[in-house]
Chains A and B, each alone.
Chain A
Amino acid sequence: MGSCWERLLEELQLGAGLQALSLKGKRGLGAIFQDQVVNTRQYLEHVKDSTTGTQGRVVKLFTNHFRVTSRPELLTYKYNIDYMPEIEDGKVRTDLLCQHKHVIGECHIFDGNSLLLPHKLQKQKTELVSRWGKKIVKVTVEFCSELKPTSLDCLRYYNILFRKILKMMDLKQVGRNYYNENEATEFLNHKLVIWPGYSTSILEYETSITLCADVNHKLLRMQTAYDLIMHVDNKSQRKDAKEISKELVGSIVFTKYNNRTYRVDAINWEETPRSTFKKSGGEEITFVDYYKEQHGLVVTDLTQPLLVSKGKWKKSQQDTPHEPIMLVPELCYLTGLTDEMRKDYRVMRDLAMHTRLDPEKRQHELRRFMNIVQKNKSAQRELQLWDLKFDPNFVSFSGRIMKEVRILQGSRAFNSHPQFADWSKETRSGPLLNVKSLDHWLVLYPRRNYGAALSLLQSLRKVTPTMGIAMRDAKMLEVNDTVQSYTTILENHVSSKTQMVLCVLSSDRKDLYDGIKKYLCVNCPIPSQCVVARTLDKPQTLMTIATKIAQQMNCKMGGALWKVETGLRNAMFVGIDCFHDIVNRRKSIAGFVSSVNQELTQWFSQCVFQEAGQELVSGLKACLEAALKLWYKHNLFLPQSIIVYRDGVGDGQLQALIEHEVPQIRSSLKSVYGDESKVRLTVVVVKKRINTRFFAEYQGRLQNPLPGTVIDVEVTKRQWYDFFIVSQSVKDGTVTPTHYNVIHDTVHFTPDGIQCLTYRLCHMYYNLSGVIRVPAPCHYAHKLAYLVGQSIHQEPHYSLASRLFYL
Chain B
Amino acid sequence: MEKNSMEEFQRSTVPRKNVIEFRPPLYKQRYFFVKDIVNQYKPKKVADLGCGNATLLCMLKFHSCVQELVGVDLLMDRLLDWNSDKLSPSIGDHLGPRDLDLSIVLYRGSAVEKDSRLLGFDLITCIELIEHLDSEDLAKFPEVVFGYFSPGMVVISTPNSDFNPLFPASTFRNSDHKFEWNQTQFQHWASNVAKLYSYTVEFTGVGAPPPWAKHVGYCTQIGIFKKKQPDPGSWILAKPTGSRISEPEEHVYQVVFTASFPSLQQKHFLLFVLCTEVLKEVEAIRQKYVWIMKRKESSEPESEEDTDSGLVRRPGLFLTDAQVAQIEKSPKPYSVGKRFYVPLKRLIGYPKVNRLVADVSTLRTLLAEGIPMRLNRAHTSVQIDLDPYDYPHDYR
Contacts and interface: CB of A to CB of B under 8 A. Distances in A.
Interface string A124-158: 00000001011110000000000000000000000
Contacts of B395: 1, 531-532, 535-536, 545, 549
A94 interface: yes
Contact of B81 (A98, A229, A296): A98
Interface string A208-250: 0000000000001111001101110111010100000000000
8 contacts: A133-B3, A186-B272, A188-B370, A189-B279, A223-B280, A259-B85, A259-B91, A294-B59
A277 interface: no
Contact of B95 (A234, A239, A333, A505): A333
A230 B3 contact: no
Contact of B92 (A91, A191, A333, A505): A333
Interface string A170-212: 0010100000010010101101010000000000000000000
A546 to B, nearest CB: 11
Interface string A628-656: 00000000000000000000000000000
B316 interface: yes
A193 B391 contact: no
Contact of A188 (B24, B82, B272, B283): B272
Given A191-B279, A295-B62, A301-B316, A95 B94 contact: no
A673 interface: no
Which of B88, B272, B388, B395 has the most C-beta atoms of chain A within 10 angstroms of its own C-beta?
Answer: B395
A64 to B, nearest CB: 26
What are the 3 A-B residue pairs with the smallest beta carbon separation, nearest first?
A256-B92, A134-B8, A535-B395
Given A98-B81, A220-B94, A534-B393, A230 B64 contact: no
Given A1-B394, A188-B272, A234-B288, A95 B373 contact: no
Given A231-B284, A234-B315, 4 more contacts: A95-B81, A233-B316, A345-B393, A549-B395
A174 B88 CA distance: 14
B284 A230 contact: yes
A362 B11 CA distance: 59
B268 to A, nearest CB: 8
Nearest to B388: A344
A660 interface: no
Contact of B396 (A181, A223, A229, A508): A508
Interface in B248-300: 271-272, 275-276, 279-280, 283-284, 287-288, 291
Contacts of B316: 226, 229-230, 233, 301, 304
A532 B271 CA distance: 37
Contacts of B9: 134-136
Contact of B279 (A1, A186, A188): A188
B82 A94 contact: yes
Which of A2, A134, A191, A534 has the most C-beta atoms of chain B within 10 angstroms of its own C-beta?
Answer: A134
Interface of A: 1-2, 5, 91, 94-95, 98-99, 101, 131, 133-136, 172, 174, 181, 184, 186, 188-189, 191, 193, 220-223, 226-227, 229-231, 233-235, 237, 239, 254-257, 259, 281-282, 293-297, 300-301, 304, 333, 343-346, 505, 507-508, 513, 530-532, 534-538, 541, 545, 549
Contacts of A5: 394
B7 to A, nearest CB: 8
Contacts of A333: 92, 95-96
B185 interface: no
B19 interface: no
Given A172-B91, A186-B272, A233-B316, A508 B371 contact: no
Contacts of B374: 189
B25 interface: yes
Nearest to A545: B395
Which of B8, B63, B90 has the most C-beta atoms of chain A within 10 angstroms of its own C-beta?
Answer: B90
Interface in B80-122: 81-82, 85, 88-96
B78 interface: yes
A191 B280 contact: yes
Contacts of B318: 300-301
A293 B60 CA distance: 11
A381 to B, nearest CB: 14
Contacts of B23: 281-282
Contacts of B137: none
Interface of B: 3, 5, 8-9, 11-12, 23-25, 27, 35, 53, 59, 62-64, 77-78, 81-82, 85, 88-96, 271-272, 275-276, 279-280, 283-284, 287-288, 291, 314-316, 318, 370-371, 373-374, 388-389, 391-396
Contacts of A549: 395
Given A91-B82, A535-B392, A134 B280 contact: no
Given A231-B284, A300-B318, A134 B25 contact: yes
Contacts of B35: 293
Contacts of A538: 392
Contacts of B62: 257, 294-297
Contacts of B78: 95, 98-99, 101
Contacts of A257: 62, 92
Which of B3, B88, B314, B393 has the most C-beta atoms of chain A within 10 angstroms of its own C-beta?
Answer: B393
B88 to A, nearest CB: 8
Given A98-B78, A230-B284, A300-B318, A259 B90 contact: yes
A282 B276 CA distance: 40
B3 A134 contact: yes
Which of B3, B23, B85, B91 has the most C-beta atoms of chain A within 10 angstroms of its own C-beta?
Answer: B91
Contacts of A135: 9
B186 to A, nearest CB: 24
B96 A256 contact: yes
Contacts of A221: 95
A188 B288 contact: no
A259 B283 CA distance: 28
Nearest to A330: B316
Given A188-B370, A294-B62, A134 B92 contact: no
Given A188-B370, A535-B392, A193 B95 contact: yes
Contacts of A234: 284, 287-288, 291, 314-315
Nearest to B276: A222
A343 B92 contact: no
Given A172-B91, A181-B89, A189-B374, A235 B287 contact: yes
A357 B293 CA distance: 44
A534 B82 contact: no
B95 A220 contact: yes
Which of A98, A223, A534 has the most C-beta atoms of chain B within 10 angstroms of its own C-beta?
Answer: A534
Contacts of B25: 134
Contacts of A189: 275, 279, 371, 373-374
A189 B271 CA distance: 12
Nearest to A229: B316
A527 to B, nearest CB: 14
Contacts of B272: 186, 188, 193, 222
A90 to B, nearest CB: 10
A167 to B, nearest CB: 8
Contact of A94 (B81, B89, B315): B81
Contacts of B85: 259
A538 B394 CA distance: 12
A233 B315 contact: yes
Nearest to A96: B78
Contacts of A220: 91, 94-95
B5 A256 contact: no
A545 B315 CA distance: 43
B5 A131 contact: yes
Nearest to B295: A237
Contacts of B370: 188
Contacts of B96: 256, 333
Contacts of A91: 82
A613 B288 CA distance: 42
B101 to A, nearest CB: 15
A562 B276 CA distance: 50
